[in-house]
């Protein structure tokens, strides 16, 4: 028997208090009135029977109550350190990772995973501790580093299926932190999952502490079940008689199976069934399904394409949100044409876009302030930027968030009064007389204009030839940047940030007269990216993927991401809240909104059901439907670590975890309860004895 706080044993000296109470008592004599005491001698009052213990049983109860109280505060426990040391290894820190991604919804895999987690904690020794981590795309510690089996089991029971994809990296990083922080010598990691191959790359940078034992537990039989899904949707827009029409075309895929199947697909708009079609899906194949066009008239229109359900229902539906009239307002001011050149290529590039993303209008002058408020970008092509009233109006509009693109050409320039609006002065044109032309030697692929082309086989700018370009003097600073340079070092594309807006200068042309850029495959996507970036609005996003995070506090970033209406709705009222697909309300006090559920999220004032909400469509990650298994042994080998001698550390940890042993046994609760019970008995018993003694004395006095 050991005590966690042995100093409290000194309290056993208090057992003398009941004995002192029983052996001593204050004299309680009733005064007798007497005429005079001057002739009487005082005789000390003595009572021999007061010095003897009369109630041994009552004394024993009080004695035992005090002993139990002292022992309870001393926290006794049965020390099993030697027993643990004899088994070898010392106490162990065990971390259990439980996969809750949506692929675990196949059959009863999640419940099987919970049972495996309970088995993992059932074998904890008296000095061991355990943590439970639930993970999908992210990871969270449900219960952290405790020896309380009841808490661990309750934590496991609270883990539910999520809409997230499988990513092992975050969970392993969290487990690594817990295992590194523990002072226990033994370390064990239990990974419970269906081990999807796409959730692990091997480059997550996880390094487990030396000596960690890794035990993978596969859920399922390791085979990929048959699954069909709506993997993508194309939403082609067109304007018919002044009304916007949308034609959805869905891509349907099927993994597994051994024969062709007939499936029913539905198109729902704002919750109402609009169309139903039948489609044939081959085994391990795909098919495209085009629906009839529908009229888009309301903002934040919710659309959904759904297949009849299978064993993995999360990817059987794909959701999207559309709003009418979201094309970028572009105003084009062009100089005199050269034959059939001029702005022909630029206009045609902006006309070729999905759903008419650009509303291009040609003008001869800078529009009024009222018109500019509805414009996203103004393009000057081979013509001067005006000054005076028009220039002042343009300056105010750019500072408020507008975007200007100057395609310099021969005539592009600006007045001195607007020199602070542009990146730097333009010089004369430079000819390449050898006929080979200049090429782009450097491009900033980290910039939004060029990031689309950063990946391999995403576009080649080195093959473009520039036969003529304007000189451009630029001093780079926080507001001014050079985004692309020619091989002689001269700037090709520059940017200057002014207030909330931006101004870009392209020193050549976007036709086929000074360059062959317009004949290259990268021309069209480059023009789209250039105008979108200048406008400050990204391409409208019709759907998000679970796990994405929105910074709802940054209105400019939201607008750049195609969520301008969402940003406006949030800014319109401080009482706005986000409602999850399950109906839970999330106040938008936190700047970051994590889209962790698949379905339609809505942003509106609480209780204002009559207001048409701002909607955000969220779908599951389609990669999660790729159920090809990962070999658990290969997974364990990748994370394997060398063993080490833990003898000395084990002895130290055993001593440190005396508190864990006492907490696990918790005898002090029983002792404290027994002491209070005895004190209650003592109170009742002593009162009864006192009443009995008083009655006897009264009887003797009257007898």
DSSP letters spanning 199-257:
G--S-S---PPTT-EEEEEE-S-S-PPPEEEEEEEEEEEEEETTEEEEEEEEEEEEES-
Residue-level pLDDT at 671: 81
Estimate the share of the chain in helix, then strand, then coil, as percent rounded to the nearest 5. Answer: 30, 30, 40
pLDDT at residue number 542: 83
Mean predicted confidence (pLDDT) in 258-264 = 89
Burial state string for 82-93 with b = 16 or more CB within 10 A and e = fewer than 16: eebbeeeebbbb
- Percent of the residues in the chain that have a pLDDT greater than 70, as a whole number: 80
Could you tell me the two tokens for 151?
A: 């808490």
- Which of the four pLDDT bands, split at 50, 70 and 90, describes residue 123? confident
Rounded distance between C-alpha atoms, residue 166 and residue 626, angstroms = 11
SS3 480: strand
CA distance readout (Å), 260 to 134, 251, 254, 255, 288: 37, 16, 10, 11, 15
Q: What is the dihedral of CA 655, 660, 664, 667, to 10 degrees?
A: 70
Question: How confident is the model at residue 90, as a pLDDT?
Answer: 66
Phi, psi of 680 (to 5 degrees): -65, -45
Identify which of 376, 379, 679 has the alpha carbon closest to the alpha carbon of residue 538: 376
User: What is the spatial distance between Cα 184 and Cα 195, in angstroms, rounded to a whole number?
Assistant: 29
Strand intervals (E) in 309-422: 317-322, 328-334, 358-363, 377-381, 403-407
- Would you say residue 647 has pLDDT above 50? no
Cα(20)–Cα(5) distance, integer angstroms: 28
Check: CB of residue 354 under 8 Å from CB of residue 236.
yes
**Beta-strand relationship, 468-472 and 480-486:** unpaired
Torsion angle in degrees (nearest 10) through CA of 544, 549, 555, 560 = -50
What pLDDT shows up at residue 27?
Answer: 47
Domains of the chain: 2-80+664-702 (no CATH), 92-224 (3.40.50.410), 249-322 (2.60.40.10), 328-425+437-531 (3.40.50.880), 544-623 (2.60.40)
- Confidence check: pLDDT of 163 > 50: yes
Mean predicted confidence (pLDDT) in 289-307: 90
Q: What is the pLDDT of residues 413-448, one digit of tens each?
A: 999 999 999 999 999 998 865 667 888 999 999 898
Longest dimension (CA), the chain: 150
pLDDT at 15: 67
Evaluate whether 96 touches 117 at the Cβ level (below 8 Å).
yes
- For 360-417, how does the pLDDT look when each residue is reduced to its tens digit (9 = 90+)? 888 888 989 888 988 999 999 999 999 999 999 999 999 988 999 999 998 999 999 9
Residue 483: strand, helix, or coil: strand
Chain-centroid distance of CA 687 in Å reads: 64
Provide mean pLDDT across the span 463-481. Answer: 92
pLDDT in tens, 193-211: 988 888 888 777 888 888 8
For residue 91, give every residue at least 6 positions away whose Cβ sits within 8 Å of its Cβ, in sequence order, or none. 84, 125, 127, 128, 129, 184, 185, 186, 650, 653, 654, 657, 660
pLDDT band at 645 (very low <50, low <70, confident <90, very high): very low
The single-letter DSSP state of residue 519 is G
Q: Would you place residue 191 in the very low, low, confident or very high pLDDT band (cuts 50, 70, 90)?
A: very high
3 state DSSP class of 312: coil
Would you state the pLDDT for residue 139? Answer: 93
467-502 core/surface letters (b: 16 or more CB in 10 A; e: else):
bbbbebebeeeeebbbbbbbeeebbbbbbbebeebb
* Residue 600 host element (H or E): strand 599-604
Tell me, what's the pLDDT at 561? 54
594: helix, strand or coil = strand
What angle do the packed helices 109-122 and 149-158 form, to 10 degrees? 170
């Amino acid at each position: 028997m050991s005590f966690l706080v042995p100093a409290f044993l000194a309290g056993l000296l208090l057992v003398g208090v009941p004995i002192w109470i029983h052996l001593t008592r204050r004299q309680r004599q009733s005064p007798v009135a007497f005429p005079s005491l001057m002739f009487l001698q005082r005789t000390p009052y003595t009572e021999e029977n007061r010095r003897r213990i009369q109630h041994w049983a009552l004394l024993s109860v009080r004695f035992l109550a005090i002993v139990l109280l002292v022992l309870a505060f001393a926290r006794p426990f049965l020390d099993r350190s030697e027993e643990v040391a004899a088994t070898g290894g010392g106490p162990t820190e065990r971390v259990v990772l439980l996969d809750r991604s949506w692929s675990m919804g196949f059959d009863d895999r999640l419940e099987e995973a919970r049972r495996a987690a309970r088995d993992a904690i059932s074998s904890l020794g008296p000095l061991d501790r355990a943590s439970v981590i639930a993970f999908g795309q992210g990871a969270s510690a449900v219960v952290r580093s405790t020896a309380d089996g009841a808490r661990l089991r309750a934590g496991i029971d609270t883990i539910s299926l999520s809409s997230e994809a499988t990513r092992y990296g975050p969970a392993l990083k969290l487990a690594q932190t817990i295992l590194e922080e523990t002072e226990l010598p033994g370390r064990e990691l239990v990974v419970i999952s269906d081990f999807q191959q796409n959730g692990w790359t091997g480059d997550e940078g996880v390094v487990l502490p030396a000596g960690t034992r890794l035990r993978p537990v596969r859920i399922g039989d390791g085979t990929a079940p048959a699954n069909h899904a709506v993997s993508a949707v194309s939403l082609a827009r067109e304007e018919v008689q002044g009304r916007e029409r949308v034609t959805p075309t869905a891509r349907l895929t099927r993994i597994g199976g051994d024969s062709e199947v007939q499936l029913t697909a539905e198109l729902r708009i704002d919750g109402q069934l609009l169309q139903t079609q039948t489609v044939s899906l081959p085994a391990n194949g795909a098919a495209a399904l085009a629906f009839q066009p529908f009229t888009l008239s309301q903002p934040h229109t919710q659309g959904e394409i759904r297949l009849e359900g299978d064993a993995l229902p999360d990817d059987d539906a794909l959701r999207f949100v559309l709003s009418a009239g979201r094309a970028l307002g572009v105003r084009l001011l062009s100089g005199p044409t050269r034959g059939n050149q001029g702005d022909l290529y630029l206009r045609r590039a902006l006309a070729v876009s999905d759903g008419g993303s650009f509303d291009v209008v040609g003008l001869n002058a800078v529009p009024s302030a009222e018109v500019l408020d509805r414009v996203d970008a103004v393009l000057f092509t081979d013509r001067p930027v005006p000054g005076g009233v028009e220039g002042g109006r343009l300056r105010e509009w750019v500072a408020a968030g507008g975007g200007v693109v100057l395609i310099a050409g021969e005539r592009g320039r600006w007045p001195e009064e607007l020199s602070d609006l542009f990146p730097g002065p333009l010089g004369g044109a430079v000819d390449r007389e050898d006929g080979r032309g200049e090429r782009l030697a450097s491009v900033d692929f980290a910039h939004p204009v060029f990031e689309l082309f950063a990946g391999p086989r995403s576009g080649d700018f080195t093959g473009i030839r520039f036969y003529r370009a304007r000189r451009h003097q630029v001093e780079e600073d926080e507001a001014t940047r050079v985004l692309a340079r020619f091989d002689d070092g001269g700037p090709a594309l520059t940017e200057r940030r002014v207030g909330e807006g931006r101004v870009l200068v392209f020193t050549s042309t976007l036709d086929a007269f000074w360059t062959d850029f317009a004949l290259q495959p990268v021309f069209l996507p480059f023009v789209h990216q250039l105008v979108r970036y200048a406008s400050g609005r990204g391409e409208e996003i019709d759907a998000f993927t679970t796990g994405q995070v929105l910074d709802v506090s940054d209105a400019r970033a939201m607008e750049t991401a195609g969520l301008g209406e969402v940003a406006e709705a949030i800014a319109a009222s401080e009482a706005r809240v986000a409602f999850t697909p399950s109906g839970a309300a999330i106040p938008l006090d936190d700047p970051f909104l994590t889209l962790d559920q698949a379905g339609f999220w809505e942003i509106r004032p609480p209780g204002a059901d009559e207001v048409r909400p701002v909607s955000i469509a969220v779908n599951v990650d389609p990669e999660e439907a790729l159920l090809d298994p990962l070999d658990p042994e290969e997974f364990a080998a990748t994370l394997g670590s060398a063993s080490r001698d833990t003898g000395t550390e084990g002895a130290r940890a055993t001593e440190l975890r005396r508190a864990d042993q006492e907490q696990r046994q918790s005898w002090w609760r029983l002792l404290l309860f027994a002491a209070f019970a005895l004190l209650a008995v003592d109170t009742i018993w002593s009162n009864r004895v006192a009443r009995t003694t008083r009655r006897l004395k009264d009887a003797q006095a009257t007898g």
